[in-house]
Chain A
Amino acid sequence: MFSIAMKSLRSKWRDYLVLFVGLMVSAAIFYMFSAIALNKEFLLANSTTGIIVLVFTIGEFLLGLITFVYLNFANGFLLRLRQAEYGLMSMLGAKRKQIGMMLMQETLALGIISTVIGIVAGIGLTSFSGQFLMDLLGLQLAHWTGFSFHAILVTLAFFVALFFLNGLYNSARLSRQDTLTLLTADKQVKQPKRRKILDPLFGLIGLALLIGGYAMMPNVLSLGITGFILILIINVLGTFFFVSRSLKMLTYALRGSRFNSRGLRSFLNGQLMFRLPDYQRLLTVLSVIFGLALGAMSVGQGFYRALPEQAQSSQPYTAAYTTNADVKDLKNIKWQATYHYVKGADKVVYFDGDEINAHHIPTMIYDNVPNSTPKVKWMSGDAMIQNPDTTTDTLIGLANQINGVQFDSKAVVLANAAELAEKGTVKSAELVKVADLHENETVLVKNAEREAKALGSTVQKLSGSYGFYALAKSYFGGFEFMGIFLGIGFLAMLASTLMFKVLSGVADDKRRYRILTMIGTSERQVTMTVAKDLGTLFFIPLIIGLLDVVFGLNMFKAILSDPYVGFVPSLIGILALYLAYYFLTVVIYRRLIKA
């Protein structure tokens, strides 16, 4: 029996390839996620809060849930692929037990092979994309590793267990069906039953759950982890009931309407109606994955964008250089000036008041209003001499940099250059402010490293917005990385789920579209119909996922001052990718049903 099972794997290789690639990608993504989620040293070293471990544990659980639904779906496809052949074997005298055993062997063989290859791909993907992202974001994260033995074990155990359960479930399902049902499995259609009271009721319950979930999101902090899990469950259930019931009601309302009796609308409606039992689960999963991809990306982008902005708005200048720095290579310099100083004993640094009178020096003034942006005030040297208490934070920050410390330095403004010269060797510091940190990052990094080396200090201890940025990045860079990394992972999962669903339907649709062509549908009409047909699958998750993110970002207020700052750029990026993927799918699908 084992050899027959293996032969059947070979006989329908094209269908199995679709299944296999889908399973492989899902194993690879699960590994990618596990490699981070199980790397506690990495999580703790690169985030400011211990909650991150819990967040990832929940994330892992969620991904496990999605994978479970996905595998269940994939195995249903496997069963459908094999039903007619099993029917034939049963007719030829194979026992139920033998057939069940064969299905189990096939499921496990497919599962183990795809999981192992998926893990190998996952290790490569994790290492490569991790390194690529770190380079891109200018991060160096401690304890990062693409290879994790722990993650390999967890992925393997999880997948084998799921395949085993699915195999049992499929065998049980198979043994309940008689030979004739199996033989004609291809020709049977499932039609959802219409329930005039229950459908609208469950649709409304779904909507209420969705709205309730959204309403709870801004208060997630006060609700705690239980609240977070609750929101998640409410959202998934709400999406499921709302999408499935409203689509069902819509298709029934359209059936027989005047609107439906034009062109291929009745065909499209029929397609949707008959796929609904499959679609309702799938659309829910896709909505959640779309929301997760966009959400993770927005949070990652949020940090990427918020950190430089925060740094720029809280510091009066970008960097101060006491060594020969490549200032001329910086773009869009908004302001620059040179100040002379003498480094004295006990962390005191002296400045020239005349010189400060000539240039003035910017400092930040904070209102006592929470979350308000500080304003820049230009101070003269005289003001600081008359009242030493008004010596600006700017000068103290500069003194800290010169002393190679983060705190405790003193800045003293002297009357003129002559008085300054009496204190010791006069040196100069060049202060620069640029418009954009990201734009100048390469030059700023080079200059900062040179400066830190000359002062025997570290980049994080330098004054100005770049030093602040480097410091903030060492605290929050982990979030930035994880957000974008997971965003990419979820996107890949989304693409693979969609690809799998779409390709697994080709065989059935090929026949339907051939009939349409034979009774007078033009090529153009077929292409348009394919585009609309696949459109449902792509655009419903987009709308729901988008709503999830619009409300869900509220949950990150605790760690990001403006969680929405990364939303629009992420949305544009993901939408562009998603649309490109949609058009590609339509083109491929069109070719497949024509072939």
Chain B
Amino acid sequence: MTEPVLIANKLNKTYTSAAGVDQHVLKDLSLTVPQGEFVAIMGPSGSGKSTLLNVLSTLMKPTTGEVMINNKDILHMTDDEIANFRGRDMGFIFQSYNLIESLTVSENIALPLTLQKTKPAQIKAAVQKVADLLHISEYLNKYPAELSGGQQQRVGAARALVHEPALIFGDEPTGALDSENAREMMNYLTKINDERDISIVMVTHDPFSASFASRILFLTDGQITKTLTRDDRSREDFYNYVLSELGNFE
């Protein structure tokens, strides 16, 4: 068994509404992701998927519980430590791409490295490498607004990869893409996962995208209620398996 890259232990998250009503979104949720694993999290709206991803990725603090990434307790880090941690060990891919429209594609991709004060020559090489991998080299000097949705999402993925993080979080990375672009994006993620041994934790509502993962966790009312593992199944078989299980899932 490989060393776990992420351990979440008894996570609870409660929101208090303006009217003073508590809403328990995550309930004693525990989860372990070994290095190199590709995990998808599925669940109906309001099941706590996004909250879980936000807590795991340091964007939000849980009410109680602990999160360890690469043996580091991320809940007791200072702001600077969290920033460095995000910049070095994590990558994000968002549904809405979240590119900075005033920067060119190459500047957008380079941001995590320029933030870490990497040398310009190394930045250039790393950007080129990841751009080649995702087939976006020809757009490096363009602005996000000049690209299609699929192209923008690949730029977002390139930015998440450029600093070779240990873990990538995806929040509906194919949510805004058509089926062709979605398949392409998932193939890239699988490739990264296989070749570079980067762990991926992805939230999605789409069974097709989820079928690229090696394990799928189903979330209902803030708890993991079901786990599907791909084992030796082909991607297509796993997809059918997920669909059949979804039929039984409430």
**Interface residues, chain A, CB within 8 Å of chain B?**
187-189, 191, 255, 258, 261-267, 270-271, 273-274, 511-512, 515-525
Contacts and interface: CB of A to CB of B under 8 A. Distances in A.
B120 interface: yes
Contacts, number: 87
Nearest to B111: A519
25 contacts: A187-B101, A189-B101, A189-B143, A189-B145, A262-B117, A262-B120, A265-B114, A266-B114, A267-B103, A270-B100, A270-B107, A511-B98, A512-B102, A515-B100, A518-B98, A520-B83, A520-B86, A520-B116, A521-B87, A521-B115, A522-B84, A523-B79, A524-B79, A524-B80, A525-B115
A266 B145 contact: no
B88 interface: yes
Nearest to A523: B79
Contacts of B104: 255
Given A520-B86, A520-B88, A263 B115 contact: yes
B216 to A, nearest CB: 25
Contact of B83 (A263, A265, A273, A525): A525
Interface residues of B, number: 33
B112 interface: yes
Given A271-B102, A520-B112, 4 more contacts: A519-B87, A520-B84, A522-B79, A523-B80
Given A261-B114, A261-B120, A523-B79, A267 B100 contact: yes
B178 to A, nearest CB: 18
Contact of A191 (B79, B98, B143): B143
Interface in B36-62: 59
Contact of B103 (A262, A266, A511): A266
Nearest to B141: A256
B8 interface: no
B92 interface: yes
* Dominant SS among interface residues on chain B: helix
A352 B137 CA distance: 103
Nearest to B58: A518
Contact of A264 (B99, B114, B159): B114
Contacts of A516: 100, 111
B107 A520 contact: no
Q: Ordered nearest first, which 3 A-B pairs have the shortest CB separation?
A: A520-B87, A522-B83, A270-B102
Between B86, B102, B107, the greatest number of chain A beta carbons within 10 A of the residue's beta carbon is seen for: B102
B102 A274 contact: yes
Contacts of A525: 83, 115
B123 A266 contact: no
Contacts of B242: none
B107 A266 contact: yes
Contacts of B99: 515
B219 interface: no
B110 interface: yes
Interface string B67-94: 0000000000001101111111010100
Given A263-B114, A266-B114, A519-B87, A273 B145 contact: no
Contacts of B107: 266-267, 270
Between A187, A188, A265, A522, the greatest number of chain B beta carbons within 10 A of the residue's beta carbon is seen for: A522
Between A255, A512, A518, the greatest number of chain B beta carbons within 10 A of the residue's beta carbon is seen for: A518
Contacts of A264: 114-115
* Dominant SS among interface residues on chain A: helix
Contacts of A517: 83
Contacts of A267: 100, 102-103, 107, 111
Nearest to B91: A519
Nearest to A520: B87
B147 to A, nearest CB: 12
Contacts of B86: 518-520
A266 B111 contact: yes
Nearest to A513: B100
A267 B101 CA distance: 10
Interface in B197-240: none
A265 B112 CA distance: 13
Contacts of B87: 519-521
A11 to B, nearest CB: 19
Nearest to B123: A261
Nearest to B145: A189
Contacts of B100: 267, 270, 512, 515-516
Contacts of A512: 100, 102
Contacts of A520: 83-88, 90, 112, 115-116
B118 to A, nearest CB: 8
Between A515, A519, A524, the greatest number of chain B beta carbons within 10 A of the residue's beta carbon is seen for: A519
A519 to B, nearest CB: 5
Interface string B110-152: 1110111100100110000000000000000001010000000
Contacts of A271: 102
Nearest to A266: B107
A133 B180 CA distance: 72
Given A266-B114, A525-B115, A518 B80 contact: no
B114 A189 contact: no
Nearest to A519: B112
A189 B102 CA distance: 8
Nearest to A265: B114
A261 B110 contact: yes
Contacts of A515: 98-100
Given A188-B145, A189-B145, A519-B86, A266 B110 contact: yes
A521 B83 contact: yes
Nearest to B112: A519
A259 to B, nearest CB: 9
Between B99, B115, B117, the greatest number of chain A beta carbons within 10 A of the residue's beta carbon is seen for: B115
A518 B112 contact: no
Nearest to B169: A518
B92 A519 contact: yes
Given A266-B110, A267-B111, A273 B102 contact: yes
A416 B19 CA distance: 97
A215 B98 CA distance: 50
A359 B115 CA distance: 79
Nearest to A271: B102
Contacts of B110: 261, 266
A582 to B, nearest CB: 23
Contacts of B98: 511, 515, 518
B159 A519 contact: yes
A520 B99 CA distance: 14
A29 to B, nearest CB: 33
A515 B101 CA distance: 11
A522 B82 CA distance: 8
A381 B215 CA distance: 115
A511 B94 CA distance: 13
